[in-house]
């Protein structure tokens, strides 16, 4: 086989890398329940030690798509900023029948982004969305994951708490202050930390838990998606784990909080 043909085949395989079922992500990104977690990425959902890894600092798959229905939504934390078009999006859609005795479900997520700290409050605002159908009561769109200020999970979210900087924390990025209370340990070995990202920590939310009310016996569809905005160069990855049915303690509307 000629070198050019091998290169083309390798490029096709690289561009079609699937979501990753992982036993861990980096040094400290542990499974929250069971034996595997799921990685969804606008890049490769891989860490530097994995075959097929591409650094999140410059890997573009080269495709665009339309925004999900009702999006983009601009961040309340970043007035007068218009988000760019989606690039390099990936999604997982699941349809589930709710157990008859369930009143809610919860899942854990952890959003990593190379856009922090350089592109806070800019058009390059990568997103993680969890879109539910039918839309839960009390919401104006299908997304069930957002912070207490109404920001979507992105580089601008108040829930971005895994980060560090020289002289901090707190750390300032794009005129916003981040407490970075969790430090940068969850970034180690992921491609988003200073050990593998040219000496600079990027950012992550840390593990979040989202709880969503449901009606027992109904059928719901969840679409989990991650995409770059504005271009496909700097990538973001979301880890998903620990889907749990709850038989009591349902909130009136979806909630997302940092895991204790």
206 and 182 Cβ atoms separated by less than 8 Å: yes
Render pLDDT for 226-258 as a digit per residue (tens, 0 to 9): 999 998 899 999 999 999 999 999 999 999 999
DSSP state string for 148-188: TTS-BEETT-TT--B---TT-SSEEETTEEE--TTTTGGGT
Tracing tokens 């390099």 back to the chain, one arrives at 88
Mapped onto helix, strand or coil, the DSSP state of residue 6 is helix
113 or 125, higher pLDDT: 113
| pLDDT for 17 beyond 90 | no
Contacts of 79 (CB under 8 A, 6+ apart): none
Contacts of 250 (CB under 8 A, 6+ apart): 103, 104, 211, 213, 214
Nearest to 103 by CA among 213, 220, 254: 213
| pLDDT for 1 beyond 50 | no
Q: What is the pTM of this model?
A: 0.91
pLDDT over 90 for what percent of the chain? 70
| pLDDT for 14 beyond 70 | no
């Amino acid at each position: 086989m000629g070198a050019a043909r091998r290169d083309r085949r390798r490029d096709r395989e690289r561009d079609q890398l699937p979501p990753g079922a992982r036993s861990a992500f980096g040094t400290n990104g542990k499974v929250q329940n069971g034996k595997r977690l799921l990685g969804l990425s606008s890049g490769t959902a891989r860490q530097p030690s994995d075959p097929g890894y591409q650094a999140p600092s410059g890997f573009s798959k080269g495709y665009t798509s339309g925004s999900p229905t009702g999006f983009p939504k601009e961040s309340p934390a970043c007035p007068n900023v218009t988000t760019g078009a989606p690039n390099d999006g990936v999604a997982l859609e699941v349809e589930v029948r709710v157990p008859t005795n369930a009143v809610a479900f919860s899942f854990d997520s952890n959003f990593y982004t190379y856009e922090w700290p350089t592109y806070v409050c800019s058009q390059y605002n990568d997103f993680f969305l969890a879109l539910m159908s039918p839309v839960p009561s009390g919401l104006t769109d299908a997304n069930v994951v957002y912070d207490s200020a109404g920001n979507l999970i992105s580089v601008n979210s108040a829930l971005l708490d895994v980060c560090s900087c020289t002289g901090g924390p707190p750390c300032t990025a794009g005129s916003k202050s981040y407490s970075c209370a969790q430090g940068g340990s969850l970034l180690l070995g992921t491609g988003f930390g200073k050990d593998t990202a040219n000496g600079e920590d990027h950012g992550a939310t840390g593990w979040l838990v989202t709880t969503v009310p449901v009606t027992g016996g109904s059928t719901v569809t969840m679409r989990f998606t991650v995409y770059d905005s504005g271009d496909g160069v700097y990538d973001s990855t979301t880890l998903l784990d620990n889907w749990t049915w709850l038989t009591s303690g349902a909130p009136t509307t979806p909630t997302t909080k940092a895991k204790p």
